[in-house]
Chains A and B, each alone.
Chain A
């Protein structure tokens, strides 16, 4: 399932940031953009953000919530999205551990 994120090609990093941003609750587009900039240190352009968001929605990893206000439609992780995020983060955790282990003095 974690492969779902890496399948997004050049959108895989933005997609991962979006999934992380939604991991602690629903957010609309601009809130995601601010949250990602604060927590991941990367500012996603509007076109990049919505390009990745549309791909995630198409794959069923995130879903829009019914909202009275179409201009501030919130999104949330689906169960598949949470599973994909967890898998991808574990992969990265393993990768980070491996890299750090190699950097450590023998």
Chain B
């Protein structure tokens, strides 16, 4: 089997397995004649190694794996907070809520705290994620891999697809249907399709970035660096959560009629939408905080001595 083919096959195995066996495994594959049976055998072996890991990461690899897991968990937590945040934004864009934020200091301050927290979290994710993406892409290009760059194309393509779908709805479908009323079933169905499109775009993006980072042999440095922006993002998520919670409580105190109304998503009760958003944000924030603590704990060198080279 040619060396390049052997190397490509070995990439199917998890990073910790490759760290331990790659060189000798590739040497053995190079000595074996290439056959479909062996390629299938190696593929099944790689699947087995992923489903039932035989090599437990230790030393430096364990630290890198823990940091990678923490950073990616933080990414997923942030993604769900964004989904909930978009729901909150959608609800509060109505004029009544805008007026409530303008007329009541507590409601207004809470709302702007949410905005500031969201911007800060986004900035932290970009600052922490950019070096990781750069390292993964550089490694992929060095190895001639196409899967990692393609996976990193998913978030921008998802964004383009979502924006394109929204523009088609607003510019073509709604006018063609004679701009149906808010509670018209057609309007509700179109809105739900938009929600589903957004959810799919968000989940596909998070999955693609996670898969790209997991498949890449990134050194510890960008992951270690990302833990600090991840901590900032987790703090910003707390700000968003507290702001959203205070917004609802302040609205209930200052504008009880509005709070008791049916101005939530799809004309659901306002408090129900608010509670759902707060619940999703609470879980997301708790996960982000836990991931940050785990990641910062994992990076302590004294906890994980360097692996023996014997």
Q: A34: nearest residue on chain B (CB-CB)? A: B31
- A23 CB to closest chain B CB (Å) equals 20
Q: Bound state CA distance, A50 and B9, in angstroms?
A: 14
Which secondary structure dominates where chain A touches chain B? helix
Chain B: which residue is nearest A45 at the CB level?
B41
Asked whether, in the complex, the Cβ of A47 is within 8 Å of the Cβ of B27, the reply is no
B54–A58 CB distance below 8 A: yes
Contact partner of B25 (CB less than 8 A), chosen from A50, A55, A66, is A50
Flag if A50 contacts B31 (CB, 8 Å).
no
Interface residues on B, range: 20 to 34
Q: Which of B24, B40, B44, B46 contacts A70 (CB 8 A)?
A: B24
**A79 contacts the other chain (Cβ, under 8 Å)?**
no
B55 is an interface residue with CB less than 8 A from chain A: yes
- Give the dominant DSSP class at B's interface: helix
Whether the pair B54, A46 counts as a contact (CB closer than 8 A) is: no
Q: A46 near B25 (CB under 8 angstroms)?
A: yes
Report if A54-B41 is in contact (Cβ < 8 Å); known contacts: A30-B28, A30-B32, A46-B28.
no
Q: Which residues of B contact A55 (CB under 8 A)?
A: 54
Give which listed residue, A47, A51, A66, A71, contacts B26 with CB less than 8 A.
A71
Considering only CB atoms, which chain B residue lies closest to A75 in the complex?
A: B24
A29 touches B28 (CB 8 A): yes
Given A30-B28, A51-B54, A54-B55, A71 and B45 touching (CB < 8 A)? no
What is the distance, in angstroms, from B95's C-beta to the closest C-beta of chain A?
Answer: 63
**Which residue of chain A lies nearest to B27 when distances are taken between CB atoms in the complex?**
A71
Question: Are the C-beta atoms of A47 and B44 separated by less than 8 Å?
Answer: yes
Known contacts A54-B17, A54-B21, A55-B54; A30 and B27 CB within 8 A of each other: yes
What are the 6 tightest A-B residue pairs by CB atom distance, in nearest-first order?
Answer: A47-B45, A45-B41, A54-B54, A71-B27, A47-B42, A29-B28
Chain B residues close to A by CB (< 8 Å): 17, 20-21, 23-29, 31-32, 37-38, 40-46, 48-49, 54-56, 310
